[in-house]
A and B are shown apart, each in its own frame.
Chain A
């Protein structure tokens, strides 16, 4: 009997518990990072609620900020209501965020923007809510394998890195460039290779020193890495980490040039900022928003499941050139940009050797940006000092 009493809950206790739990949930939303930008002036009555989920803070000068700028752009479109949550880990937390966006905020379209959200989290929630559409940044969708309410998009930002490499190749005096990279995954390697190919297209003696920090966000190690590169005579650094802020600031302190990534970091390094490879999600998100408002859906295939592009389809752009960029560098960079915009040349055109001397792309062979081989890149191009395997 005592046992029963130990577990007995009165109606009042249950009510109190439920109230407390829901108050906590509300508090979490209020204090957390959900903000609602409503702009429902359209005559359709109910606005379309779009949820954006970021892995980091929205103003980190990095990956999440780039997406948040895109979300802010579509929040201005009449008939669209944007809900956002930042700092959502790539764990079950993102599933809970997606469920609460759908159930509590009435979101019918979700943009989970971090790469690691896709498998298994987006896939699991997408199966649960077949009427909600999920657009994931990462280009991981596979026809027939993944639910048909999932779409995927990604940009060939290495085109912008290629042009940034041209600018860096002109700016360097020591002929040593530095690349602070998080992890040796194909997208990072492709950025390193394109940056190096760009630099070597104007200055064949350039070498790129790559250092892997091992984590997406590790400010102390990133600063340490930038410093040790500067010690070794590197005079232009760029990076592929979540938030390049510390790297740009350290480079500026050391009096070397830097080239940004993800978003515009010019204000952090007014003297040394050359240019940068930026995402331009606002044009893509606007395009999606207009299709969604026109009642197109992924499920009836009127919105393509896979959307990719580079400079020409406005997936990415370059930061405005900094004061240190010479007229010659600007001319070369603009010429290369025109060639990429008109899709007449490929960055990966044979013969290309990797840095162990092995031929990776045969002479006469040309790999367009869409080539699937490029997405499985596991080598570093000739001229890069570094190794893929740790």
Chain B
């Protein structure tokens, strides 16, 4: 046990540590939503998927003793929820926002119901990569314990960027999202492309849930997501539907979670409600600063959120 005191250095360290620990759920959900929205559909239900992912990861990790199986189960749960959303939201003239809200309630309900027996037990956690072994300071050591899932998320962001820009499949998704008529003229099945995009996005969100319950904070309770899924969906707009910017935005939000506690721990104990609200204030500010009545948002997929008129 150390008596060394970091003092004010604890604030930047805390924010860096918070970023490394807490960004992964934001990252996975926002990348998943980015993929989904590029194909022209909105999936607000990722909040429910996140909870479902967290619950199934924890439950499977506890039952089998293998946290990686838990991650797999979280992904599968995500796929399943994506399938439901993909089918329902693509019925003719169905509003995908409304379906998404229903999926939030459905997902959290199912997760709470199935998760009842898993609130008490402690499941095996994912191993961490310790990049801080060089330091003699336990605070630094603990800050640099990085989850492999987080690194995976960081790798997915540029990969997805490349996928959208340089591959035929990426082009198809963008075409379906920007101009479904053109895509249909090309002979692409809009229905299938969207269904697969929604499922893949939902899969990623499920993995994000696994990071919540198997890495940080590392337990299953019903309040575990505290709205992170919804915030991550908003992050996509904030990141202009660009996977690399999703990464930056997620890091920013992950770090912002640590500001309030880190400042209070060095004795700045005024305005903590304000500091705790800083991520939301930041989002609002950026939205206000970048919106303009003269043009639509740069990067928005042309057909985003428009109900499908017919099945094809």
A residues within 8 Å of B by Cβ? 31, 33, 56-57, 59-61, 87, 173-174, 209, 211-214, 217-225, 227-235, 243, 245-246, 249-250, 253-256, 267-268, 385-387, 389-390
Contacts and interface: CB of A to CB of B under 8 A. Distances in A.
A222 B222 CA distance: 14
A364 B259 CA distance: 43
B260 A231 contact: no
B2 A57 contact: no
A214 B221 contact: no
A245 B219 contact: yes
A221 B142 contact: no
For B3, B14, B264, the residue with the greatest tally of chain A CB atoms inside 10 Å of its CB is B264
Interface of B: 1-7, 10, 13-14, 17-18, 21-22, 112-113, 116, 119-120, 122, 138-139, 142-143, 216-219, 221-224, 226, 228, 257-258, 260-262, 264-267, 269-274, 276
A85 to B, nearest CB: 13
Given A173-B3, A228-B10, A249 B269 contact: no
Given A231-B10, A386-B269, A217 B260 contact: no
Nearest to B264: A211
Given A223-B21, A389-B270, 11 more contacts: A31-B113, A33-B116, A87-B112, A214-B273, A217-B221, A227-B14, A228-B14, A228-B265, A230-B139, A231-B142, A390-B271
Contact of A268 (B122, B228, B264, B274): B122
Given A217-B223, A231-B265, A57 B116 contact: yes
Nearest to A388: B269
Contacts of A225: 261, 264-265
A56 B221 CA distance: 10
A220 B266 contact: no
Contacts, number: 148
Given A174-B1, A217-B221, A232-B265, A224 B142 contact: no
A71 B112 CA distance: 22
Nearest to B113: A31
Contacts of B267: 385
A315 to B, nearest CB: 24
A228 B258 contact: yes
A256 B262 CA distance: 18
A88 to B, nearest CB: 13
B265 A249 contact: no
Contacts of B112: 87
Contacts of B143: 231
A65 to B, nearest CB: 8
Nearest to A32: B113
Contact of B217 (A60, A220, A256): A220
20 contacts: A57-B221, A61-B120, A174-B5, A213-B276, A214-B272, A214-B273, A219-B217, A221-B226, A221-B276, A225-B264, A228-B258, A232-B265, A233-B3, A233-B5, A234-B265, A243-B221, A246-B217, A254-B138, A387-B270, A390-B271
Contacts of B120: 59, 61
Contacts of B122: 249, 267-268
Interface residues of chain B: helix, strand, loop or mixed (majority): helix
Contact of B223 (A61, A212, A214, A218): A218
B257 A224 contact: yes
A60 B220 CA distance: 10
A233 B4 contact: yes
A255 B224 contact: no
Contacts of A386: 264, 269
A193 to B, nearest CB: 16
Contacts of A268: 122
Contacts of B276: 213-214, 221
B222 A57 contact: yes
A32 to B, nearest CB: 9
A234 B264 CA distance: 13
A212 B21 CA distance: 20
B221 A256 contact: no
Contacts of B266: 232
A322 to B, nearest CB: 15
Contact of A232 (B10, B21, B116, B271): B10
Contacts of B10: 228, 231-232
Contacts of B13: 231
A251 B266 CA distance: 18
Given A60-B119, A224-B18, A227-B14, A254 B142 contact: yes
Contacts of B271: 390
Contacts of A214: 260, 272-273, 276
A265 to B, nearest CB: 11
